[in-house]
Structure 1
Amino acid sequence: MIEDYLFHLTFLQILGTALGVVQVLLARKNNINNYIFGIGSILISMWVLYRSQLYGDILLNLYYFGMSIYGWFYWKLGKQKKTTPISYSSKEEHLKALGIVVVCFTLMAYWLKFHTNSNVPIWDAVVVSFAWAGMWLMAKRKMENWIYLNISNVIAIPLLFYKELYVYAGLTIFLFIVGVSGYIKWQEILKNEKIEQPTTA
């Protein structure tokens, strides 16, 4: 019985990881279809995380789910009803991202510590708070999303090893590497888009 349970959990981790890998590779290429694979990965991850008592990450994935739907529509239409280009965050957007981190950490740390049986409430809250800000910036197609997401990844890696979620730990290491290359790739895309824009006399 225990062996079957562990096999089932491991299989779901692998399936969710595979979908997650496709998602981040498509995001790196600035492909809107990354959200489709991301949603599949999110739904699987929520079940695995529930069984592993990582409640903060469950809420994180619920947020991912909502932001994935929002991001797909925003990438597709944007504010001007046309495809949203990659750009750097404005000062106001930087402040909003930092605000998301602070508010999310405060709420999550309190909830995880006093209302769940999580044994890593503070670290779990840190992972969630930076990831929330990163996903918001990703939905806005902002360069800095890779920075916030990688801060979350760096903290999540040892946490996942501690929870013995080795497949997800491996995925998160992969996500960190893609995050670095994704930032570089988006810089190249942004540079090329500026070069292709017609100049006015």
Structure 2
Amino acid sequence: MNFQEWFMLFQQQIVKTSLIEWIAVGFGISEVLLAKKNNIWLYPTGIISILLSMFLLLKVKLYAETLLSMYYLVMSIYGWLLWKKRKLEVQIQVSWCTNKEITIAVLISTIGFLILYIVLKYFTDSDVPIWDAFVSSTAWAGMWLLAKRKIENWIFLNISNLFAIPLLIHKKLAMFAVLTTILFIVAIFGFIEWKKIEQKRKLVLAN
């Protein structure tokens, strides 16, 4: 399929986008913009988007993505509670991963991929087991790091986003593909902004 055919398919998908998908995308965009600003309200908006997304992903047989959304839901609740507990220290909690944390994140991605692939390949009717498993497992690691306010969360999430965009187009979820593209771009700026927050923290500690 050439670019023109892909673009026409994408246009057709947008026209057929359901109201639920539009709402889910709207809350999803709000979530990532709030995350970029290191704002606690990213979690309640994200939870709404997650619940709507789960319904849509299940319909198109993206089982790992649905499971990922369930994981997002749990991590969002965990992250919300954690951030509320430390809300007076929000701006100084952003930090780089320790060697142990980055190792755990890589293990989450690797082991998660293997488990998801086996389950999708042999126990579901998924037609994209490798793709679906990779997108989901890297996002698992990213969400874990986001809850802990580690700067590297943006790297893991953007690896997931990069592979999710063509997957969502393939599954005819055009607006989710648009949302993921926006998330990819915003995550780049989120990475830059969180680095600045960490630099400010170091200056505060130095003084």
* TM over 0.5, shorter chain: yes
Q: Are 1:13 and 2:21 matched, yes or no?
A: yes
* 8 A contact 1:75–1:141 mirrored in 2: no
How far did residue 20 of structure 1 move? 0.4
Matches within 5 A, 1:118-129: 118-129=126-137
Q: Are 1:86 and 2:89 matched, yes or no?
A: no
> Following the alignment from structure 1 to structure 2, what is the Cα–Cα distance between the partners of residues 123 and 41?
22
How far did residue 196 of structure 1 move? 3.1
Q: Are 1:187 and 2:187 matched, yes or no?
A: no
How far did residue 11 of structure 1 move? 1.0
> Following the alignment from structure 1 to structure 2, what is the Cα–Cα distance between the partners of residues 124 and 179?
21
* 8 A contact 1:50–1:58 mirrored in 2: yes
Deviations 1:10-47 (A, max 9, x none): 21111000000000000000001100000000000000
Matches within 5 A, 1:44-193: 44-77=52-85, 83=90, 85-193=93-201
Q: Which residue matches 2:8?
A: none
> Following the alignment from structure 2 to structure 1, what is the Cα–Cα distance between the partners of residues 73 and 120?
20
Question: 3-state DSSP class of the match of 1:118?
Answer: coil
Q: How many residues align?
A: 192
> Following the alignment from structure 2 to structure 1, what is the Cα–Cα distance between the partners of residues 124 and 51?
21
Question: 3-state DSSP class of the match of 2:18?
Answer: helix
- Any unmatched runs of 5+ in structure 1? 1-5
> Following the alignment from structure 2 to structure 1, what is the Cα–Cα distance between the partners of residues 159 and 142?
9
How far did residue 152 of structure 1 move? 0.2
Q: Which residue matches 1:32?
A: 40
* 8 A contact 1:9–1:48 mirrored in 2: no
Larger RCO, structures 1/2 (Cα 8 Å, 6+ apart): 2
Identity %: 46
Provide the alpha-carbon RMSD of the alignment. 1.8
> Following the alignment from structure 2 to structure 1, what is the Cα–Cα distance between the partners of residues 194 and 89?
19
- Any unmatched runs of 5+ in structure 2? 1-13
